[in-house]
Amino acid sequence: MALIVQKYGGTSVANVDRIKNVAARVKAHWQQGNKMVVVVSARSGVTNELIARAKALHSTPEEREMDMLLAIGEQETIALLSMALHAIGVPACSRTGAQAGIHTDTLHTRARIARVTGGDIPARLDEGKVVIVAGFQGISAQHEITTLGRGGSDLTAIAVAAAIRADLCQIYTDVDGVYTADPRIVVNARKLPVIAYDEMLELASSCSKVMQARSVEFAQKYNVPFEVRSSFNDKPGTLVKANAKTMEDAVVSGVALDRSQMRVTVSDIPDDAAAVAAIFNALGEAGLSVDMIIKNLGTQGRSNLTLSVSSDQFSYAEKVINTVIGKLGSGAVRATGEFAKLSIVGVGMISHPGVAGTLFNALASIGVNCDLITTSEIKIAVAVAPAKADEAVRAVHEAFRLHDIVPIG
């Protein structure tokens, strides 16, 4: 008998038949005598639909109201799944994020988890019930509903697994594991049987949408190993854990693509470190992460910054930067074009020279030029034109021969 946390994403609960499929899977585990906690997302498309409705009414909706709206999606699914389980004779009860004790800070739409109590989950499990928890949502100290950022149900699952000390945490999605690239873009991408937190975190923060980056960060911090599996078949998935050796001698383990980055230019600010610090401090306090940064010297003691934020956060970033510009007394901020960010990730990069050369050769071979570039010990990311993005991922995947590496695990 084990204590299992399972998370089912949007496509896995997209309609009544798929919810029935999830209920049957949960029942099978429960019948084996396991204690089951099931975290669910909104049905696929629902969160986007809610965002579109909000934007139709206001270009920058108040973030508190956004959370009030977005939390609906997951609440629909917990009730429906609970009903589907009742219909097949499984005692189940649904819990909102607040009821499950997911306490967060007050940063609406991208709140961070402060603590997780689990609420009455252990007591209900002891009664033999399956507990269904709404992903993506929490509650602030002001008793306001908050949400955990896009893809945040992954974070709910990992955080609940850590809080109740689950024996197993399984993330069920529409692919049967983590691949060397998005299998929708690269048809011969390989599934990785196992991957280390570090690499998974870099892949996820480079927008390998398969896991939300913050959930991987949380899993690493609290050492919660988890499996990524498919809810549509029983194939073995990918195990994500500490110190995993992904592939013998592989320099790069994966290629990731983030299609929706916005290039932001902040021009004519005072050319001193304090001005730059003021801008990045304000963005940080607003919970907005900035990835690529270039600073150019302008004229007459002024400088310009180019930075990237995710496109859906541009209007908030613009607001925050404008406030700083007001205090600095000079400057202007504007969006200067969307781009896609292509990243290569691999712990093998630490010990292998020449990785950047292979990357740029591959891009040059298909006529892709890039200006913004950022690197870490185990990642290189470049800005590419959106129209060339898929082709670039395929070329880079091919150049590092990721289709014929031999995974070990």
List contacts with ligand ADP (CB under 6 A): 9-12, 41, 151, 173-175, 178-179, 181-184, 208-210, 254
Contact partner at residue 182 from Mg ion, ligand ASP, ligand ADP, none, CB < 5 to 8 Å by partner kind: ligand ADP
Neighbouring CB atoms inside 10 A of 337's CB total: 12
Is residue 354 classed exposed, middle or buried when 0-12, 13-18 and 19+ CB atoms within 10 A define those classes? exposed
**DSSP designation for 84:** H
Contact partner at residue 47 from ligand ADP, Mg ion, ligand ASP, none, CB < 5 to 8 Å by partner kind: ligand ASP
Going residue by residue from 113 to 152, which x/- string records binding to Mg ion, judged by CB under 5 A? --------------------------------------x-
Region from 145-153, 307-315, 336-344, 401-409 binding ligand ASP, contact rule CB under 6 A:
145-153
Residue with smallest beta-carbon separation from ligand ADP: 9
Report the distance separating Cα 62 and Cα 296, nearest Å. 34
Least Å distance, CB 392 to ligand ASP, is 26
Contact partner at residue 42 from ligand ADP, Mg ion, ligand ASP, none, CB < 5 to 8 Å by partner kind: ligand ASP
Pairing of strands 92-95, 130-134: parallel
Q: How many residues sit in the footprint of ligand ASP (CB under 6 A)? A: 13
Residue entry with tokens 């204690």: 35
Yes or no: say if 3 and 33 are a contact pair by the CB < 8 Å rule: no
The answer for residues whose C-beta is within 8 angstroms of residue 406's C-beta and 6 or more apart is 247, 248
Interaction residues for ligand ASP, span 13-72 (CB under 6 A): 41-42, 47
DSSP letters, 147-212, are E--TTTHHHHHHHHHHHTT-SEEEEEESSSS-BSS-TTT-TT--B-SEEEHHHHHHHHHTT-TTS-
Amino acid (1-letter code) at residue 298: G
Contact partner at residue 136 from ligand ASP, ligand ADP, Mg ion, none, CB < 5 to 8 Å by partner kind: ligand ASP
Amino acid (1-letter code) at residue 48: N
Least Å distance, CB 9 to ligand ASP, is 6
List 103's β-bridge partners, or say none.
115, 139
Least Å distance, CB 284 to ligand ASP, is 22
Contact partner at residue 150 from ligand ASP, ligand ADP, Mg ion, none, CB < 5 to 8 Å by partner kind: ligand ASP
Which helix (H) or strand (E) is 335 found in, with range? Answer: strand 332-345
Yes or no: say if 85 and 23 are a contact pair by the CB < 8 Å rule: yes
Going residue by residue from 182 to 211, which x/- string records binding to ligand ASP, judged by CB under 6 A? ------------------------------
Question: Site for ligand ASP (CB under 6 A): which residue of 151, 177, 346, 407?
Answer: 151
Query: Considering beta carbons, is residue 49 or 248 the nearer one to ligand ASP?
Result: 49
Going residue by residue from 233 to 252, which x/- string records binding to ligand ASP, judged by CB under 6 A? --------------------
Q: Which residues bind Mg ion (CB under 5 A)?
A: 9, 151
